Structure 1
Amino acid sequence: MNRFLVASLLLLLFACGKKESVVITPENLTEVLTQYGKENPENEVIIETKMGTIKLRLYDDTPLHRANFVKLIKEGYYDDADFYRIAYEFMIQGGDLKKKLNYVIPAEFNPRHFHKKGALSMARVTENNPRKESSAAEFFIVHGTRYTDEDIDIEARNLGINILPEQREAYRTAGGYMTLDGEYTVFGEVTEGLDVVDKIANEKVYNTDHPLHKIPFTIRVVESK
């Protein structure tokens, strides 16, 4: 058997064995992401930047957001992404604005998941979005600021929310951004690299919140053992 024929057979076998990506639409979203989540149970993600490494843990009880994020990472959606929006004591936002996806993710709110410092949350359109559905791909990590007990009580009254003891402790000691609670879906958190979030949040910006120097990142899923 000549080399050309062997190479052709190998390519054919590879093509047959490679599973094609399913395109998500508003109609099939829940079904596709639910199945994808079962087949891809990973919940650890690593982001590499010129300023250091950020490690994330994705929550299993926000299954659609977790599955969607893992799917996009594995399929290379974020290959040319960067942290394109920075707001000190608020958040750092990442993604690739050149790419558009034709779907949104249903909100998966959970009072145990709130916008403490290091929370991983999904951005969304605020206008004409009564269900508070998330962007398909634009995410942010909370930088935030510390609150006093009085600040927390005032914010809770203004927002009409009840504060759990662990929320109060986190907002007092680590900080966060309470106004986002119940508005955006938190689906993970930083487990290592809060100092890197600090460095990025402290970068110089122009035109309000765009970094003066581009901050690209690479992102990968830690495969389950």
Structure 2
Amino acid sequence: MRIRFSILLVALLLAGTGCEDKKSKAKDVQVQSTEKKVDSTEAQKTKAQNEKLKTKAGSIIESQAELIPFLTEYGKKNQETRVRILTEYGDIEIELFKDTPLHRANFILLVKQNYFEKTMIHRNSPNFVVQGGNSDGYETPKKRQHIGNYLIPNESSANHPHVRGAFSAAKYLEQNISDASSPFEWFIVQPERGAHHLDGEHTVYGRVTKGMNVVDEINKVAVDDNEWPIKNIYINVELMN
């Protein structure tokens, strides 16, 4: 009788342990499910924010004073680092650097606001750079007005020199002693020797990871006296992740 009672007690204990495991597993699944919902909610909030910015009355960035806090916060919510430049010659894939946070956040903002749609490679300097982000159409100035009138503080670093394939920010030359960047225009360094005389003066905030052959082909296109391609080379930019 004692033996049967002992066996029954052990069986009950084992059965109890099994139930606890199932509850624990169920709890883990519930936690994971909740975490996914949180992630999904954050993504939805970020998407909603970007959609709201598209229809915002006035400029998205209303003054130079609010630029850094705005881009800092925007960069936290929009952490993409890979983009693709679409051209008729092929695609150019770019990795944006995380240690140039203001430039990265600004570029992602422009992509999500569809700024680059119908812009062009508006400067082509043979054996030097291919430059984009402008156009001769009336839509581009309207888009710039909606996004804002500001300059991005220089974030140049010795870690990111102007080697071949460097993705760097253009700048306005007049009254720009701080070497601040244009928020809208960028260029890609084409020659093997690089363009190291630009180091420190311009902010390299990304690099070409695929498509330098496309850059080389574009760099062969004939230009006028202002280095504007005689043939219009339209572009767009999309996110890769």
TM-score bracket, normalised by the shorter chain, equals 0.7 to 0.9
Name which of 133, 155, 178 aligns with 1:95: 133
Distance 1:29 1:132 in 2: 16
175-184 or 97-106, larger mean C-alpha shift = 97-106
Tell me whether 1:194 sits opposite 2:212 in the alignment.
yes
SS in structure 2 at match of 1:27:
helix
Q: CA RMSD, aligned part only?
A: 1.6
Unaligned runs of 5+ in 1: 1-16, 145-173
Tell me which residue corresponds to 1:125: 172
SS in structure 2 at match of 1:179:
helix
Distance 1:103 1:221 in 2: 24
Distance 1:202 1:219 in 2: 22
For residues 1-225 of structure 1, what are the structure 2 equivalents within 5 Å?
18-19=48-49, 20-21=52-53, 23-24=60-61, 25-97=63-135, 98-99=140-141, 100=144, 101-144=148-191, 174-223=192-241
Regions of 4+ moved over 3 Å? none
* 1:94-140 residue CA offsets vs partner (Å, 9 max, x unmatched): 01244244000000011010111110001101221111100011111
SS in structure 2 at match of 1:134:
coil
Distance 2:123 2:169 in 1: 14
Tell me which residue corresponds to 1:156: none
Task: Give the structure with the higher percent helix.
Answer: 2
Question: Which residue type is aligned with residue 202 of structure 2?
Answer: Y
Unaligned runs of 5+ in 2: 1-46
Q: Percent identity?
A: 39
Superposed displacement of residue 175, structure 1: 2.4
Distance 1:86 1:18 in 2: 37
SS in structure 1 at match of 2:102:
helix
* 1:153-180 residue CA offsets vs partner (Å, 9 max, x unmatched): xxxxxxxxxxxxxxxxxxxxx3211111
Distance 1:208 1:54 in 2: 24
SS in structure 1 at match of 2:92:
strand
TM-score, length basis structure 2: 0.71
Distance 2:94 2:104 in 1: 11
Distance 1:18 1:40 in 2: 12
Question: Which residue type is aligned with residue 115 of structure 2?
Answer: Y
Distance 2:205 2:167 in 1: 6
Equivalent pairs counted in the alignment come to: 179
Distance 2:133 2:156 in 1: 22
Superposed displacement of residue 55, structure 1: 0.2
Higher relative contact order (CA 8 A, sep 6+): 1
* 1:168-199 residue CA offsets vs partner (Å, 9 max, x unmatched): xxxxxx32111111110000000000000000
